A and B are shown apart, each in its own frame.
Chain A
Amino acid sequence: MFIFPRRLASTAALVGLVSLGLTACGGTTKDSAQQGADPKASAAAPASADPNAPIKEGLKIAFLPKQINNPYETIVDKAGIEAAKEYKGEAKEVGPSDASASSQVSYINTLIQQRQDAILIAANDANAVCGPLKQAMSKGIKIVAYDSDAAKDCRNLFINQADSEEIGRSQVKMLADMIDSKGEIAILSATANATNQNAWIDFMKDELTKPEYKDMKLVKVAYGDDDDQKSFQETQGLLQAYPDLKGIISPTTVGISAAARYISGSKYKGKITLTGLGTPNQMREFVKDGTVQQFALWNPKDLGYLASYSAAALASGQITGAEGEKFTAGKLGEYTIGKDGEVILGAPFVFKADNIDEFDF
């Protein structure tokens, strides 16, 4: 009989703990929710672009990454928040702790209620976030997609880290240079339904049909699900199943570091050429120990910086997102909006032993 109330009490304590934990993951700030009541009319941007309009001060912009604990997205968002300081805006990062579209939806709804001037989103699913984004646009909030695109009609701009085509083709060229354009190759991707990965892979396949790569054969596209153990096992599987494999392209940061870690401690070190997309910090060990010769990535800081400026330009009415419009992104200079509202950051940068120490991210 005495146990009952005690049990209730500890259950209540537990529920309290759990909700504390959840709030800690959530990262939404209460202050900004209250600021949302501020009836600033900045949302009502003019329908036509005025290239000479100055960037408004005090613009409120929010970064909504795929998930807040992704180190890469943290770098991007921090740079974007820094950029906002340059044009005297208020920027913040909010987002889910899991990379799912459904959790992004609830964040979008909160941001609409807070009346942000612009939302920058790395979409976990091109279509699942579409409804709430359209709702935001109908309230005058500008939407900029970065890193991973949302469907075309649910955003004003997409800041492409590098042209998908450029990435796909350059990865194949980079590997071809290292293996003399000969032998079997494989791709270690993230999840089978990641928008950006699949776009890159399609261009890699297309590049491989060119005559100069006639001796290179793509034998398998494996999916490591951006999970360490799975990426290890997929790499092992590729090396066992295709004993003549010469090279692996892993265009995902989790995949390439897991593959490099596995290869560095196995008998395959020195026999297989690994390249892909990774950050200098995570790959430094493997470039130094000779497991990896070179890999590529755009500069994520520049991506966040450009995305932040483009959102400010949109919210200030300098641009509307139509093809051919131009805007200036601070120190990065002038950018032109391409087809389908895409702005391309630039060509991927190649990291190798002699330049990797110049970078820290």
Chain B
Amino acid sequence: MSAVTAGRSSRGVVDLVFRARELSIVAALAVLVAVTAGVNGNFLSGQGMKDIFLNASILVLLAVGQSVVVITRNIDLSAGSVVGLVAFTTGDFLAADHGRGVVFAVVLGVAIGALCGLVNGLLVSFGRVPALVVTLGTLYVIQGLDHLIAHGRQINAVDLPPALLALGNGTVLGVPYLPVIAVVVMLAVGYYLRSYASGRDFYAIGSSPEAAGLAGIPVRRRVMGAYLFSGALAGLAGVLWLSRFGTVVADAANGWELQVVSAVVVGGVAITGGVGTVYGAALGALLLTTITSALVVLKVNPFWQQAITGALLLLAISVDRLLALRVARVLRRRNARHGS
């Protein structure tokens, strides 16, 4: 009996601490928006709000995919390249014939992304090559492939079917499509990771791959699944990129992998795996894009923007470290008190 309550309450403490982590991002976001809106009311106008959520949507999707991988103590640096490849190839595909449906383009984009994820997953889980090296390699390979296909060409808005462009800035009941898609994906993944046994496996693997293996968790299959999922989401993000920006060249989303990793880490997903939620990662993405917008509205010199993002990253990592130490101490004390 006492062991059960001890287990429950210590889980409660851990939960509280990590919910506090997400709440701190919400608080930071609230302060940021309040200050910016205080200086310039337009920031929170209907159009302003729409812009904030539209700007963040693609990064949120990528951050959700990335956090699943990072939770398993891996990383996917190829995400930005996949977005670029998918944006260009689906654009090229749709430009050839306007009759081709948007739904089909989405399916195609997700499939291309999943294929890239499959390659990453195979190399990492079955090839046992460190994820950093594998995905750095595929980053360049996919980018090279994209450049080869594009060969200096460009997809123009006029080449795309109106339905796809409408997906990028159209609304349903006044809410733009992109944020709706991002939120639905985030909630579904968040629920899966939290409530399904197989979802919990990802955390177990990230906490200790060896222990997870010994406990009978199919480590390779789960890691494989994480990459497949991250690739598929990057594919989806690629189609949305196309629909949002309309004009696409081969280096679309070039360098975004680092923004995505930043968003995930700022959002409280530990880069060492096992800790964090997709909600946090999504909030991190929202915070980073909103900072950029806010600094523009506040007329802050653009040279500061990157410095601020960097400082925020360092802050997030420091906070995580402090929290981890704190939690470990609390758990140790509880275990000692309840004895065994």
Q: List residues of chain A with CB under 8 Å of any chain B CB.
A: 3, 6-7, 10-11, 14-15, 17-18, 20-22, 24-25, 67-71, 73-74, 97-98, 192, 220, 222-223, 228-230, 232-234, 236-241, 243, 254, 257-258, 261, 264-268, 281-282, 284-286, 288
- CB pair A261–B157 under 8 Å, yes or no, is yes
- CB pair A22–B144 under 8 Å, yes or no, is yes
Cross-interface CB contact of B144 among A10, A24, A71, A240, cutoff 8 Å: A24
- CB pair B249–A70 under 8 Å, yes or no, is yes
Which A residues touch B293, using CB under 8 A? 233, 236-237
- CB pair A14–B140 under 8 Å, yes or no, is no
Which A residues touch B156, using CB under 8 A? 257, 281-282, 284-285
- CB pair A237–B297 under 8 Å, yes or no, is yes
- CB pair B157–A285 under 8 Å, yes or no, is yes
CB distance from B275 to the nearest CB of A (A): 27
Cross-interface CB contact of B157 among A10, A254, A257, cutoff 8 Å: A257
Interface of A is mostly: helix
Which partner residue on chain B sits nearest A237 by CB separation? Answer: B296
* CB pairs A–B below 8 angstroms (28 shown): A17-B137, A18-B141, A21-B140, A22-B140, A25-B140, A69-B150, A69-B250, A70-B152, A70-B249, A71-B154, A74-B153, A228-B241, A229-B245, A233-B55, A233-B292, A233-B296, A234-B296, A240-B48, A240-B297, A241-B297, A254-B247, A261-B247, A266-B47, A267-B47, A281-B156, A282-B157, A284-B157, A284-B158
If A232-B55, A232-B245, A254-B247 are given as contacts, then 19 extra A-B residue pairs at C-beta distance below 8 Å, sorted by A number, are A6-B128, A7-B127, A21-B137, A25-B140, A68-B152, A69-B152, A74-B153, A192-B303, A222-B302, A223-B302, A229-B58, A237-B296, A257-B247, A261-B245, A264-B169, A266-B51, A267-B46, A281-B156, A285-B165
Which partner residue on chain A sits nearest B45 by CB separation? Answer: A240
- CB pair A97–B143 under 8 Å, yes or no, is yes
- CB pair B128–A7 under 8 Å, yes or no, is yes
Which A residues touch B220, using CB under 8 A? none
Q: Which of B245, B247, B251, B302 has the most CB of A within 10 A?
A: B247
Give Cα A10 to B150, complex, Å: 29
Which B residues touch A237, using CB under 8 A? 293, 296-297
- CB pair A220–B128 under 8 Å, yes or no, is no
- CB pair A25–B246 under 8 Å, yes or no, is no
Which A residues touch B133, using CB under 8 A? 11, 14
Q: Which range contains the number of B residues in contact with the other chain? A: 35 or more
Give Cα A7 to B168, complex, Å: 43
Give Cα A46 to B24, complex, Å: 72
Give Cα A24 to B85, complex, Å: 15
Give 5 closest A-B pairs by Cβ, nearest first. Answer: A237-B296, A265-B169, A74-B152, A21-B144, A71-B154
CB distance from A208 to the nearest CB of B (A): 20
Which B residues touch A284, using CB under 8 A? 156-158
- CB pair B296–A69 under 8 Å, yes or no, is no
- CB pair A282–B299 under 8 Å, yes or no, is no
Give Cα A247 to B150, complex, Å: 33
Cross-interface CB contact of B296 among A15, A21, A236, cutoff 8 Å: A236
- CB pair A285–B296 under 8 Å, yes or no, is no
Which B residues touch A17, using CB under 8 A? 137, 141
Which A residues touch B249, using CB under 8 A? 69-71
CB distance from B242 to the nearest CB of A (A): 11
- CB pair B251–A282 under 8 Å, yes or no, is no
Interface membership of B40, Cβ < 8 A: yes
- CB pair A240–B141 under 8 Å, yes or no, is no
Question: Given the known A-B contacts A70-B249, A284-B156, are A241 and B299 also in contact in the complex, defined by CB atoms under 8 Å?
Answer: yes
Q: Which of A11, A98, A220, A258 has the most CB of B within 10 A?
A: A11
Interface membership of B148, Cβ < 8 A: yes
Question: Given the known A-B contacts A74-B153, A241-B40, are A14 and B123 also in contact in the complex, defined by CB atoms under 8 Å?
Answer: yes
CB distance from B296 to the nearest CB of A (A): 3
Q: Which of B123, B137, B148, B150 has the most CB of A within 10 A?
A: B137
CB distance from B21 to the nearest CB of A (A): 27
Question: Given the known A-B contacts A10-B129, A282-B156, A284-B156, are A265 and B302 also in contact in the complex, defined by CB atoms under 8 Å?
Answer: no
Which A residues touch B144, using CB under 8 A? 20-22, 24-25, 97
**B149-188 interface bits toward A, Cβ cutoff 8 Å, 1 = contact, 0 = none:** 0111110111000000100111000000000000000000
- CB pair A10–B127 under 8 Å, yes or no, is yes
Interface membership of B43, Cβ < 8 A: yes
- CB pair A21–B152 under 8 Å, yes or no, is no
Interface membership of B42, Cβ < 8 A: yes
- CB pair B141–A21 under 8 Å, yes or no, is yes
- CB pair B143–A21 under 8 Å, yes or no, is yes
- CB pair A240–B152 under 8 Å, yes or no, is no
CB distance from B50 to the nearest CB of A (A): 8
Give Cα A285 to B95, complex, Å: 13
Which partner residue on chain A sits nearest B170 by CB separation? Answer: A265
CB distance from A191 to the nearest CB of B (A): 10
CB distance from B309 to the nearest CB of A (A): 13
Interface membership of B315, Cβ < 8 A: no
CB distance from A324 to the nearest CB of B (A): 36
Which A residues touch B58, using CB under 8 A? 229
Which B residues touch A233, using CB under 8 A? 55, 289, 292-293, 296
Question: Given the known A-B contacts A7-B127, A241-B40, are A265 and B168 also in contact in the complex, defined by CB atoms under 8 Å?
Answer: yes
Which B residues touch A234, using CB under 8 A? 296
